[in-house]
Amino acid sequence: MTIFDKKFLQWAMLFVFAINISTMSAQDINGGSLNTHQQSLAAIAALTATGNIEKLKIALHSGLNAGLKVNEVKEALIQLYAYCGFPRSLNALNTLMTVLEERKAKGIKDPVGKDASPVAENADKYQVGKKTLQMLTGKEEKDTKSGVNAFAPPIDTFLKEHLFADIFSRDVLTFRQREFVTISALSAMDGVEPQLQAHIAMGKNTVLPIIS
């Protein structure tokens, strides 16, 4: 577990504790009760966000060895462009391609997993994204915009139609898995504390298993 930065591991543990508080003991938390899937996915997300390609390569090998499916990892890396930008997401995807080629050359056949189902072509993506966001926040959104959504309405549209419809509504990862990825990435980044706190709150509202 040397690839973990103390800061984002603490936040990941806080998230796991917050959503499993009724079933986890203090010993579980103190002992680092993240399974190998969770440890790997947290590391992959954080190292993508910080652009540490060498350690990311190690984390990708570890995650695949732990049983993460190729499309699960790919989906996480695609999602992360919304939080750490296209350059780091693309660099991480290219690194995943390199890792898979290396493993293939060694005769390792990694399970691909299922493909994501896209949002229906005739769907109102704004409403799909709005519903997804309301499920994550546990709050019904008012029709009257406020704050940054009122100040810059296009950002509200982009968040609803793209982030929470095009990305979060895809079914390769559950909402809780997506929040775990997001929290791990934001925990490794500086200057995003409000967004980190918001996603920890969203993660606590999810109801499906984090990682199988």
Q: Based on the fold, state whether residues 126 and 112 are members of the same structural domain.
A: no
Q: For the segment 54-80, what is each residue's pLDDT rounded down to a tens digit? A: 999 999 999 999 999 999 999 999 999
Average pLDDT, integer, range 2-26: 43
pLDDT at 9: 52
Residue 211: band (very low, low, confident or very high) from pLDDT cuts 50, 70, 90 = very low
Distances (CA, A) of 210 to 42, 48, 97, 105, 175: 11, 19, 25, 31, 8
pTM for this entry: 0.81
Residue 198 structure tokens: 């918001």
Q: Which residue range forms the structural domain that includes residue 12?
A: 1-117+173-212
Q: What's the structural domain count of the chain?
A: 2
Evaluate if residue 38 carries a pLDDT over 60: yes
Phi, psi of 44 (to 5 degrees): -60, -45
Q: Based on the fold, state whether residues 59 and 16 are members of the same structural domain.
A: yes
Q: For the segment 130-145, what is each residue's pLDDT rounded down to a tens digit? A: 999 998 998 888 778 8
Q: Based on the fold, state whether residues 78 and 147 are members of the same structural domain.
A: no
pLDDT at 176: 87
Q: Based on the fold, state whether residues 86 and 105 are members of the same structural domain.
A: yes
